[in-house]
């Protein structure tokens, strides 16, 4: 039994009376309640018309009711001194503010005449809702009593109450807890109480409570003047408690047509005490902080595979966040579902690179194998299937994620095997413990940086060489960690562990040929290394002194092998600033970063004055790498100005919500070199006197998240984050927010809404974030790559940076694009991966020199840059020099730097429809232009890909695109039509063919194509075996045939045929 | 010399603005209305509206107090 | 968010469709355009709500520094010298496309049909789809309701669900959220009728009439409060620094009206370090003023709950000013004494005023350390003050004596310690036995009367006339003062008959309140009208100023008569202590010597030169009491009371309460 229940058992009812609920009429209940504590008598009387005419209510009623009770000799402590409570005819109104006062009168112990006091809180209105315009209490109880008016039961009682607290902050909570049915019902309880000192003084007050559900506390308002509380205690009243009927909001909303797509069909409740306690403890883990409600929901989703109605209620009550906000979040972010998902989540990446590489077929295949649709869950709740916008592993497209494992280069026919392997793996899975974090790190002063560097160099010199194993996401999906573990094991087995160092590095960039092992300092480059190859590396190379030929990279065209990394064209054309440490350090070891001059820029910045840091960044000309290309220095300067004008603090935020499908440079930078980002933010914080920074990172990047968390922790224990950084008075710390699956949250204002624990609705940017950003404070937001550049700019100087790249930015950052840019090169290209090149390099060089051209000798068709907001650039523009402004002129944009190469198997109408379709799902839906416009565009494009297009549609597409672009609220909508506009501009003939000829020249649009088998068929039956609908007939060694009725155009036959016998027309 | 609220007299100087008068008088309550020689002055003009010598200035404060 | 700069607003010259216009910096373009007489179509704009820019129909072309761009006028703040075009061919085209999309989705909603006509969109079939909703009352996602819930009420009970094309307005899981306060704002602002109110608790005659006036105030609160008294940010404590600036903040038992340390307890500190911001702090449902501030997670440093983290309600102005009155210029102290007063059940005002009196007596040597149980009670003795409070709760020690109030301490000290009764009378800040609330009334004759004549004792809720009288100099004659002492107490009492809060009446004012002449403006006529309509909407009985005053006057006189019946409530009970009407000590006189000398010369015609301070003090005292009595006479007369302050039978007849129960109160007691 709880303490509260025990207290209640001590109550003894002295008297009780039932009462009827009367409907209120014109603000009056027309009834008065009188309680005599001497006689234990409860009575009611009617309100007369004269009372209403002359005295109105409130204090007027109180005085009138006092009149018959007193005589000339009544003193404050006389038994016949009444204490009266009344609301008033307008009291309890909710549609006019300030209508909740209670008026109290009694003879005052200070003045011996009538005192009147008015007070807020819920008592007065609830008294009236119970059917009483006023309450008079007369007489004195012999011991501590309470009066309880229970509107629900229609009963009034006077009870002894010996145990409850007298002090009001406790009494209010105790009585509220005692009489409320549940947490929500607490708002129906109002308590009037005094306090211990009211008993001993003449200036006692009455506290009127109201339940504050957001604070989860009883709040008190005071009837302060004249000693009303003294009289109350003198009557031995401990409390008057009233319980209101549930106050039901009296309104309804018209039903909405789209609600059915969102509202859960089965509402899930979690009744078990264990579940409730666990959910509460998850919420508490985040300090009940409403800004972290999205984080809490991610943990709840991970644990329970859905957000139940119970969880929504608990989140609401524990954090004070309105239910509607939680519901909006739950239905806005893709990570959340209101109905239970399966134990294992299978995500099929439908990002651009994956799309052009046939991800849709992979999805169809999963759908068939699991017997569920995209978004569905198997009946046994084992699997859920979901298409995701981009898993950021575009270089090994098409990609899927099953559980925590990322698998690349998946073909539709592999699906069964993947599921079988996963089931088998799950059975024998044994988790290995991670190495404990070294927490005994010492704090360093700036001079200590040099010491660490020397130590690291000395340490490195003790080894004959270092084997750098790539553990970026691309290589990890190709078992990179296994290579690392095996290498260590084999070295130990041969007692070579003191001769050769093995280092887990972040992404090397050349994802196409992973897993990668690089022998340093010689720079010998081994590609596509398997576990079995490790013995060769050790035996032939380390022990034998010969390079392992079979693991060397060979030029795809010439077949010429290359031994050293710096001889391969993929690397030679690059210039590394943001990726300066790639493949050279262990991202999980801060000392490796320091050894490469890490945090020296911070040390330098700490000696510069804040203004000159900003000047340095401005004159470097660096423009934001997140897409817009806004000069970073100008942004910082505006932030500083806003801070000064308003005398405000500022926040530093890193946008790591890399959303563009086809782009993964931010993920790679964090996985490779997290400290470069942290250091960049520290420098900005120093320049802007900020003490708090945030990194908003996609939850879909677990490895990056893990490394970031480790890096922050190491930086803290090294004294590089937190208080007194590097022994100075500079304080700054960084916190992480995990994005929950919403592309639009890459937009700065949506990102900040999301960081505040809300759905990611953007707002107009006429007022910039640098003025009113996170928590309405001046905020600098830059993306990962921009931050990674900052330390180098400070260390090597603005001039050094400004000279790299295009244009002359020294005096005007808009006059060109300085520095380098990291691009993710994916799609139909040989050397997929991550490259960093100086601004101004031609597209041609990127595609043919670095990228190694199109595989299978196919024809280049277009290069798509800038993600869904970008456009498709045709072959005739390949000589274009790439920078922010040229791309924009071409109708595309830099975006975050995704480059998807498309060969002649790509249908440009389908590409346009693909992007629009992607964005319909990702638009926040706030503004009409984007929400309705994209929906309308999609309808037209879909019509065209089905061969139902009309010529007038082209004009309508153009016009609608222009309206969406011009009228959208944020840049998501503003740039959304770019793929449509650029394909209309550069590939108009393809549209015409779809509309007029009803054909899809690239063989993509399923409604317009047929699969057939030609004379090349050898009758190997592989296609027939693989066909999911058994549409292929034919005996062994005989020409096969496709039954068009049954063919679903999934393309598996085409994939599996080795004889070029399957044709698409 | 200028007169504030028909009572307080303060020294006038060249270029004196309404805001200067308010500062001088310590009038910081946000709910005020100002008129100079019966001419209403808007809040956004306080800093620029110059007060002529011998002006009669009324700074009217709204009531307050619960 | 309201754009705020240290420098204050400035004006900007812009051109709209070629015509010059001047606007205040930060004005939203739509307002500027409409003020200039142009009509721009919009669906999501609402005059009382923060613009959200969702319908996109109000697109206008703006040229800044030679660069043209399209912006939504509703949420574009004018900050540069821009050239604006409200209709170009391009804009027309976009508006038509948008209107067609709207029409395709909600063809039967009247506001959409109107917009479509305005934008030249006629083809409802063009964008017809499976999502087309034929309901004429369909929600069109304008977000009015969501914004009203947020900005009128700070509640966020209503919200959207879903993303992209699936966005829709709903209640979570289709349930009604029981946290809704029932303010009905959502329905009021809904342009299509998609939200309907189905019940009203009080069963008023005309709920629409009440709502339409209540919402006016909600809108003011949402849009003007941040620029006016900031009740939502700091509650009543917003005026701590204001009172200091006007020499009205009680310091050291009302000796002074300001103090150099006020900045340590002012609203800026409270806002940035103590109060939780942006919270729905209403003490009753549907109150948009939300002034019930709280300090969350306050760790107590003394007393039985030491070390616990608690929610502290307030501090309100009077509590903070009680701090300065006791010389406690430390918010940690103020919050702590606030908390303990509340939970122990002690009035912060009576406590602070009594403690301040005790401190002055201690410094004057009337009581000593021995007497106080070892506590050195100079001004600013915060620890000791809290100890007195804990003693009150325990029921032992000197604190219990303090808890008897100023009047009883005076009596006791005269009797037991032989203290000078005259001095104690002059500095003991009570009338009728009730301690003064925390405003310095020395320089406002009307406020002196407002305090001392208050029927229950000197509490400002009956009359607060300081600004009108002292600062505005708006009621210079005795007649004017008497009139104010008639109207304002009655008007304020009226709230107490209805169950209403007064601060909603006067702590926010309509933007155009200054259109009324000052005398009228002080009443905030639009707000008074709101209340008449509120009353009428509830009861069906129309009221006007006369009726309202009559309603209040009846109760006012009843209360006065009840005081009389109980043996008080005559002229002798309406006399304030000297400190309430003027300087009571040499120290005080000297602190404002220039002012008092000047008054002596100008108002009394007496040359202060060559007189001792004691003489001047005495002259001032006599003069001020004489003035006070004149006000009293005038006010009694205006109220229809005799010169002894007793309501006359004629007056009772006039106001219709000459009923036996009331008349009996006038009878002389039998000896």
Chains that touch B (3 or more CB pairs under 8 A): C
**What residues of B are in contact with residue C439 (Cβ under 8 Å)?**
65
For residue C67, what are its two tokens?
Answer: 């660069």
Listed by number, the residues of chain A in 732-771 with a beta carbon closer than 8 Å to a beta carbon of chain C are: 742, 759, 763-764, 766-767, 771
Q: Which of B49, B56, B65 to mutate to test the interface with C (most CBs of C within 10 A)?
A: B65
Cβ contact A114–C311 (<8 Å) = no
Closest by Cβ to A201, choosing from C54, C211, C392: C392
Q: What are the chain C neighbours of A331 within 8 Å (beta carbons)?
A: 161-163, 166
Query: Chain B residues with CB-CB distance to C under 8 A?
Result: 5-7, 19, 26-31, 33, 40, 43-48, 58-66
State the smallest CA–CA distance between residue A920 and chain C in angstroms.
6
Band (pLDDT 50/70/90 cuts) for residue B42 is confident
Residue C395: pLDDT band (50, 70, 90) is very high
Average of per-residue pLDDT across C358-384: 97
Residues of A in contact with C547 (CB under 8 A): none
Q: Report whether C57 contacts C95 (CB < 8 A).
A: yes
Cβ distance of A267 and C166 shorter than 8 Å: no
**What's the DSSP call for residue A859?**
P
CA distance readout (Å), C25 to A568, A772, C140, C192, C514? 59, 16, 32, 33, 21
Instruction: Write out pLDDT tens, residues C485-501.
Output: 999 999 999 999 999 99
CB pairs under 8 A between A and C: 584
Measure CA C125 to chain center: 54
Beta partners for A18?
A155
User: In chain C, which residue's Cα lies nearest the Cα of B35?
Assistant: C514
- Measure CA of the first residue to CA of the last residue in chain A; give whole Å: 77
Q: For residues C527 and C539, what is the distance between their CA atoms, to the nearest angstrom? A: 18
Q: How far apart are CA A951 and CA A236, in angstroms?
A: 89
Whether the CB of C24 is below 8 Å from some CB of chain B: the reply is: yes
Residues 91-130 of A with CB under 8 A from C: 91-103, 107-108, 110-116, 118, 120-122, 124-125, 128-129
Q: What is the pLDDT of residues C535-547, one digit of tens each?
A: 999 999 999 999 9
The alpha-carbon gap from B39 to the nearest alpha carbon of chain C, in Å, equals 12
Q: Which chains touch C (3 or more CB pairs under 8 A)?
A: A, B
Contact A95 C129 (CB under 8 A): no
Mention every residue, 6+ apart, whose C-beta is less than 8 A from residue A832: A394, A395, A396, A397, A511, A512, A825, A826, A851
- Chain C residues whose CB is inside 8 A of the B59 CB are 471-472
Q: Helix H segments across A923-1017?
A: 928-945, 952-967, 971-975, 978-986, 988-992
Strand A553-554 with A561-562, pairing: antiparallel
User: DSSP 3-state assignment of C60?
Assistant: strand
Burial C240-269 (b: 16+ CB within 10 A, else e): bbbbbbbbbbbbbbbbbbbbebbeebbbeb
Tally the residues of chain B: 66
* Angstrom distance (rounded) from CA A63 to CA C665: 13
Q: Judged by CB atoms within 8 Å, which residues 929-948 of A form the interface with C?
A: 929, 931-936, 939
| Contact residues, chain A, for C85 at CB < 8 Å | none
Of all residues in chain C, the one with the smallest CA distance to B58 is C472
The distance of B63 to chain C (nearest Cα, Å) reads 6
Distance of alpha carbon C77 from alpha carbon C26, whole angstroms: 5
B6–C476 CB contact, under 8 Å: yes
How confident is the model at residue C410, as a pLDDT? 98
Residue of A nearest to C222 (CA): A97
Residue A626 has what pLDDT? 85
The answer, yes or no, to whether the previous bond of A75 is cis (omega within 30 of 0) is no
Q: Two tokens at A647?
A: 């005398």
CB contacts of A197 in chain C (<8 Å) are: 344-346, 389, 392-393, 403
Using a CB–CB cutoff of 8 Å, tell me whether C501 touches chain B.
yes
Specify which residues A218 forms β-bridges with.
A211
Interface of A with C in 234-253 (CB under 8 A): 246-253
pLDDT at C8: 61
Report, in angstroms and rounded to the nearest whole number, the Rg of chain A calculated over CA atoms. 36
Name the A residues in 258-287 with CB < 8 Å from any C CB: 258-259, 261-264, 267
Does C96 contact B at CB distance below 8 Å? Answer: no
Does C72 touch chain A if contact means CB atoms closer than 8 Å?
yes
Do A699 and A740 form a contact (C-beta atoms < 8 A)? yes
CATH architecture of the domain with range B2-61:
Roll (3.10)
User: How far, rounded to the nearest angstrom, does the alpha carbon of residue C487 sit from its chain's CA centroid?
Assistant: 19
Domains plus CATH for chain C?
Answer: 11-87 (3.10.20.740), 231-435 (1.10.569.10), 445-665 (1.10.599.10)
Residues from chain A that touch C215, judged by Cβ atoms under 8 A, are 95
Could you give the maximum distance between any two Cα atoms of chain A, in Å?
A: 121
Q: Are C472 and B5 a contacting pair at CB < 8 A?
A: yes
- Whether C305 contacts A164, CB under 8 Å: no
C474 contacts B60? CB cut-off 8 A: yes
Quick check: C351 and A224 CB within 8 A?
no
Nearest residue in chain B measured CA to CA from C22: B44
Alpha-carbon gap: C457 to the closest alpha carbon of chain B (Å): 15
User: A179 is written with which tokens?
Assistant: 């009489």
What are the chain A neighbours of C288 within 8 Å (beta carbons)? Answer: 97
Hey, where are the domains in chain B? 2-61
- Residues of chain C contacting A967 with CB distance shorter than 8 Å: 56, 59, 70, 94, 97-98
Please list the ranges in chain A whose pLDDT falls under 70. Answer: 1, 247-249, 428-442
End-to-end C-alpha distance for chain B, whole angstroms: 37
- Picking from C314, C157, C544, C204, the residue whose alpha carbon sits closest to that of residue A96 is C204
- Residue pair A837/A820 in contact by the 8 Å Cβ criterion: yes
Alpha carbon of C562: minimum distance to chain A alpha carbons (Å): 7
CB-based contact C9 B44, cutoff 8 Å = yes
Is C200 in contact with A250 (Cβ distance < 8 A)?
yes
What's the pLDDT score for residue C242? 93
pLDDT digits (tens, 9 = 90+) for A1012-1059: 999 899 888 888 888 888 899 888 888 899 998 888 888 888 888 888
Judge if the upstream peptide bond of residue A406 is cis by omega within 30 degrees of 0. no
Torsion sign over Cα A435, A441, A444, A449: negative
Distance CA A366, CA A399 (A): 13
Rounded Cα distance between A839 and A885, Å, is: 11
CA distances to A1, C248, C318, C326, C334 from C245, in Å: 57, 8, 16, 19, 20
Structural domains in chain A?
3-243 (3.60.9.10), 262-332 (no CATH), 344-424 (3.40.30.10), 446-572 (3.40.30.10), 590-703+734-800 (3.40.50.11540), 817-904 (3.10.20.600), 907-1000 (1.20.1440.230), 1010-1064 (3.30.70.20)
Of A577, A589, A547, A578, nearest to A565 (Cα)? Answer: A547
What order of strands is seen across the sheet that includes strand A779-783?
A733-739, A692-698, A651-656, A779-783
Which residue of C1, C54, C163 is in closest CB contact with A331? Answer: C163
Q: Cα–Cα distances in Å, from A937 out to A644, A865, A941, A970?
A: 46, 21, 6, 18
Record: contact B61-C467, CB cut-off 8 A: yes
Nearest chain C Cα distance for residue B50, angstroms? 15
Indicate the burial class of B61 (C-beta count within 10 angstroms; 0-12, 13-18, 19 or more): buried
- Contact list in A for residue C159 (CB cut-off 8 A) is 322, 324-325, 327-328, 759
How far apart CA A692 and CA A733 sit, in angstroms, is: 5
Measure in Å the smallest separation between the Cα of C637 and chain A Cα atoms.
23
CB-defined contacts B:C, below 8 A: 94
């Amino acid at each position: 039994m709880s303490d509260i229940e025990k207290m209640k058992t001590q109550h003894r009812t002295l008297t009780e009376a039932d009462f009827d609920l009367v409907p209120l009429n014109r603000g009056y209940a027309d009834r008065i309640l009188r309680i005599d504590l001497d006689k234990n008598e409860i009575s009611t009387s009617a309100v007369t018309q004269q009372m209403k005419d002359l005295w109105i209510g409130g204090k007027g009623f109180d005085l009138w009711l006092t009149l018959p009770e007193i005589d000339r000799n009544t003193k404050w402590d006389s038994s016949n001194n009444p204490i009266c409570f009344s609301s008033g005819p307008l009291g309890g109104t909710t549609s006019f503010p300030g209508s909740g006062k209670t008026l109290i009168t009694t003879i005052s112990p200070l003045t011996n005449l009538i005192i009147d006091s008015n007070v807020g809180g819920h008592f007065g209105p609830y008294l009236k809702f119970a059917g009483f315009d006023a309450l008079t209490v007369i007489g004195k109880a012999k011991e501590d009593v309470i009066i309880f008016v229970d509107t629900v039961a229609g009963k009034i009682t006077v009870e002894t109450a010996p145990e409850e607290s007298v002090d009001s902050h406790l009494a209010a909570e105790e009585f509220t807890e005692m009489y409320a049915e549940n947490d929500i019902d607490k708002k129906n309880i109002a308590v009037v109480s005094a306090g211990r000192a009211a008993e001993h003084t003449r200036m006692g007050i009455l506290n009127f409570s109201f339940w504050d559900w957001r604070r989860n506390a009883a709040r008190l308002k005071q009837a302060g003047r004249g000693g009303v509380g003294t009289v109350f205690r003198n009557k031995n009243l401990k409390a008057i408690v009233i319980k209101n009927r549930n106050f039901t909001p009296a309104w309804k909303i018209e039903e909405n047509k789209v609600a059915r797509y969102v509202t859960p069909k089965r509402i899930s409740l979690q009744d078990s005490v264990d579940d409730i306690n666990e959910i509460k403890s998850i919420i508490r883990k985040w300090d009940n902080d409403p800004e972290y409600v999205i984080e809490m929901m991610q943990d709840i989703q991970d644990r329970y595979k859905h957000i139940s109605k119970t969880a929504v209620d608990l989140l609401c009550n524990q954090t004070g966040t309105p239910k509607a906000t939680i519901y909006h979040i739950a239905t806005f972010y893709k990570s959340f579902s209101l109905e239970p998902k399966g134990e294992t989540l299978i995500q099929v990446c439908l990002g651009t690179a994956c799309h052009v590489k046939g991800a849709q077929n992979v999805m169809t295949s999963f759908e068939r194998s699991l017997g569920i649709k995209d978004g569905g869950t198997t009946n046994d709740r084992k699997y859920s299937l979901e298409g995701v916008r981009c898993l950021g592993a575009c270089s090994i497209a098409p990609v899927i994620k099953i559980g925590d494992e990322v698998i690349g280069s998946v073909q539709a026919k592999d699906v069964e095997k993947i599921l079988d392997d996963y089931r088998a793996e799950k059975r024998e899975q044994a988790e290995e413990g991670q190495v404990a974090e070294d927490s005994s790190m010492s704090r360093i002063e700036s001079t200590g940086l040099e010491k660490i560097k020397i130590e690291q160099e000395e340490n490195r010199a003790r080894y004959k060489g270092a084997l750098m194993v790539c553990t970026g996401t691309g290589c990890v999906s190709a078992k990179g960690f296994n290579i690392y573990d095996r290498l260590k094991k084999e070295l130990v087995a041969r007692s070579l562990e003191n001769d050769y160092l093995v280092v887990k590095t972040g992404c090397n960039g050349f994802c196409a040929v992973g897993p990668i092992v690089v022998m340093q300092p010689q720079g010998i480059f081994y590609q596509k290394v398997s576990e079995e190859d490790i013995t060769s590396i050790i035996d032939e190379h380390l022990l034998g002194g010969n390079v392992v030929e079979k693991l060397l990279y060979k030029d795809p065209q010439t077949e010429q092998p290359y031994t050293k990394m710096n001889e391969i064209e993929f690397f030679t054309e690059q210039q590394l600033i943001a990726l300066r440490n790639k493949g050279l350090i262990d991202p999980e070891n801060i000392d490796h970063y320091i050894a490469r001059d890490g945090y020296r820029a911070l040390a330098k910045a700490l000696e510069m004055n804040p203004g000159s840091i900003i000047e340095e960044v401005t004159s470097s000309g660096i423009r934001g790498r997140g897409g817009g290309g806004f000069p970073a220095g100008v942004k910082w300067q505006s932030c500083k100005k806003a801070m000064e004008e308003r005398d405000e603090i500022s926040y530093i935020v890193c946008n790591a919500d890399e959303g563009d499908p086809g782009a993964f440079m931010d993920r790679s930078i964090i996985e490779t070199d997290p400290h470069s980002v942290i250091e960049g933010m520290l420098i900005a914080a120093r320049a802007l006197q900020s003490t708090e920074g945030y990194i908003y990172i996609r939850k879909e990047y677990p490895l990056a998240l893990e490394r970031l968390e480790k890096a922050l922790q190491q930086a803290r224990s090294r004294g590089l984050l937190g208080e007194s950084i590097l022994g100075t008075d500079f304080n700054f710390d960084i916190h992480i927010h995990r994005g929950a699956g919403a592309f639009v949250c890459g937009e700065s204002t949506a990102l900040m809404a999301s960081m505040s624990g809300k759905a990611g609705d953007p707002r107009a940017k006429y007022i910039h974030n640098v003025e009113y950003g996170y928590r309405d404070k001046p905020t600098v937001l830059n993306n990962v790559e921009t931050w990674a550049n900052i330390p180098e700019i400070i260390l090597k100087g603005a001039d050094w940076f400004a000279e790299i790249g295009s244009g002359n930015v020294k005096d005007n950052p808009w006059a060109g694009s300085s520095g380098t840019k990291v691009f993710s090169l994916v799609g139909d290209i040989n050397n997929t991966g991550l490259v960093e090149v100086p601004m101004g390099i031609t597209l041609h060089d990127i595609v043919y020199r670095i990228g190694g051209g199109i595989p299978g000798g196919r024809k280049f068709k277009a290069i798509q840059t800038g993600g869904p907001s970008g456009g498709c650039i045709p072959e005739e523009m390949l000589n274009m020099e790439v920078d922010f402004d040229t791309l924009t002129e071409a109708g595309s944009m830099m975006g975050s730097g995704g480059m998807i190469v498309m060969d002649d198997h790509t249908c440009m109408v389908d590409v346009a429809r693909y992007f629009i379709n992607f964005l319909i799902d990702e638009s926040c839906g706030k503004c009409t232009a984007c929400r309705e416009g994209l929906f309308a565009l999609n309808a037209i494009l879909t019509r065209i890909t089905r061969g139902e297009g009309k010529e007038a549609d082209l004009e309508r597409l153009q016009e609608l695109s222009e309206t969406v672009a011009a009228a959208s609220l944020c840049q998501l909508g503003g740039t959304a039509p770019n793929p449509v506009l650029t394909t209309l501009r550069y590939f108009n003939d393809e549209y015409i063919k779809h509309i007029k000829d009803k054909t899809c020249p690239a063989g993509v649009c399923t409604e317009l194509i047929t699969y057939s088998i030609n004379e090349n068929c050898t009758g190997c039956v592989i296609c027939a075996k693989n066909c999911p609908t058994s549409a292929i007939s034919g005996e062994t060694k005989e020409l096969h045939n496709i039954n068009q009725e049954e063919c679903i155009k999934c393309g598996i036959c085409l994939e599996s045929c080795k004889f070029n016998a399957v044709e698409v027309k | 010399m200028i007169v504030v609220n028909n009572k307080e007299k303060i020294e006038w100087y060249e270029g004196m603005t309404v805001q200067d008068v308010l500062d001088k008088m310590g009038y910081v309550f946000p709910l005020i209305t100002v008129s100079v020689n019966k001419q209403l002055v808007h809040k956004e003009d306080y800093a620029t509206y110059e007060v002529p010598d011998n002006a009669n200035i009324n700074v009217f404060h709204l009531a307050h107090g619960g | 968010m309201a754009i705020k700069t240290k420098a204050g607003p400035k004006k900007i010259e812009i051109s709209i469709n070629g015509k010059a216009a001047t606007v205040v910096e930060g004005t939203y373009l739509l307002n500027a355009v409409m003020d200039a007489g142009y009509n721009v179509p919009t669906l999501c704009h609402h005059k009382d709500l923060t613009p959200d820019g969702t319908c996109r129909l109000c697109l206008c072309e703006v040229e800044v520094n030679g660069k043209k761009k399209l912006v939504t006028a509703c949420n574009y703040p004018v900050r540069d010298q821009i050239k604006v075009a409200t209709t170009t061919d391009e804009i027309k085209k976009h508006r038509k496309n948008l209107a067609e999309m709207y029409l395709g989705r909600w063809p039967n909603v009247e506001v959409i049909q109107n917009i479509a006509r305005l934008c030249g969109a006629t083809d409802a079939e063009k964008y017809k789809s499976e999502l087309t909703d034929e309901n004429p009352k369909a929600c069109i996602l304008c977000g009015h309701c969501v914004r009203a819930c947020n900005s009128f009420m700070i509640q966020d009970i209503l919200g959207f669900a879903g993303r992209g094309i699936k966005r829709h307005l709903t209640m979570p899981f289709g349930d009604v959220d029981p946290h809704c306060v029932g303010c009905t704002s959502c329905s009021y602002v809904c342009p299509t009728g998609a939200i309907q109110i189905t019940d009203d608790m009080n069963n008023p005659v005309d709920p629409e009439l009440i709502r339409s006036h209540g919402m006016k105030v909600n809108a003011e609160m949402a849009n003007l409060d941040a620029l006016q008294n900031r009740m939502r940010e700091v509650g009543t404590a917003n005026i701590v620094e204001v009172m200091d600036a006007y020499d009205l903040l009680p310091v050291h038992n009302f000796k002074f009206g300001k103090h150099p340390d006020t900045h340590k307890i002012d609203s800026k500190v409270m806002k940035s370090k103590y109060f939780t911001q942006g919270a729905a702090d209403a003490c009753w449902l549907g109150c948009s003023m939300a002034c019930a501030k709280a300090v969350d997670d306050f760790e107590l440093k003394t007393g039985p709950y030491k070390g616990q983290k608690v929610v502290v309600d307030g501090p309100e102005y009077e509590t903070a000013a009680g701090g300065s009155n006791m010389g406690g210029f430390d918010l940690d102290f103020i919050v702590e004494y606030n908390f303990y007063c509340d939970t122990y059940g002690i009035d912060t005002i009576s406590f602070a005023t009594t403690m301040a009196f005790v401190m002055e007596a201690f410094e004057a040597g009337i009581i000593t350390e021995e007497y106080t149980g070892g506590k050195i009670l100079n001004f600013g003795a915060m620890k000791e003050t809290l100890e007195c409070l804990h003693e009150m709760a325990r029921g032992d020690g000197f604190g219990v004596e303090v808890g008897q109030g100023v009047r009883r301490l005076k009596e006791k000290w005269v009797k037991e310690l032989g203290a000078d009764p005259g001095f104690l009378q002059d500095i003991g800040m009570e009338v009728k036995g009730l301690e003064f609330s925390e405003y310095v009334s020395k320089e406002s004759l009307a406020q002196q009367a407002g305090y001392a004549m208050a029927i229950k004792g000197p509490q400002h809720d009956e009359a607060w006339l300081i600004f009108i009288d002292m600062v505005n100099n708006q009621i210079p004659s005795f007649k004017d003062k008497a009139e104010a002492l008639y109207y304002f107490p009655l008007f304020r009492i009226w709230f107490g008959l209805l169950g209403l809060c007064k601060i909603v009446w006067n702590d926010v004012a309509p933007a155009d309140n200054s259109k009324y002449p000052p005398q009228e403006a002080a009443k905030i006529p639009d707000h008074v009208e709101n209340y008449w309509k509120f009353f009428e909407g509830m009861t069906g009985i129309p009221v006007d100023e006369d009726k309202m005053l009559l309603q209040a006057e009846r109760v006012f006189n009843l209360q006065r008569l009840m005081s009389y019946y109980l043996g008080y409530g005559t002229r002798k009970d309406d006399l304030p202590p000297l400190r309430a009407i003027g300087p009571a000590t040499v120290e005080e006189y000297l602190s404002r010597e220039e002012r008092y000398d000047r008054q002596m010369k100008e108002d009394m015609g007496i040359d202060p030169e060559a007189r001792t301070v004691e003489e001047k003090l005495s002259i001032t005292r006599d003069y001020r009491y004489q003035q006070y009595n004149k006000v009293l006479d005038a006010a009694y007369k205006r109220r229809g009371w005799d010169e002894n302050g007793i309501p006359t039978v004629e007056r009772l007849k006039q106001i219709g309460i000459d009923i036996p129960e009331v008349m009996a109160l006038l009878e002389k007691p039998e000896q």
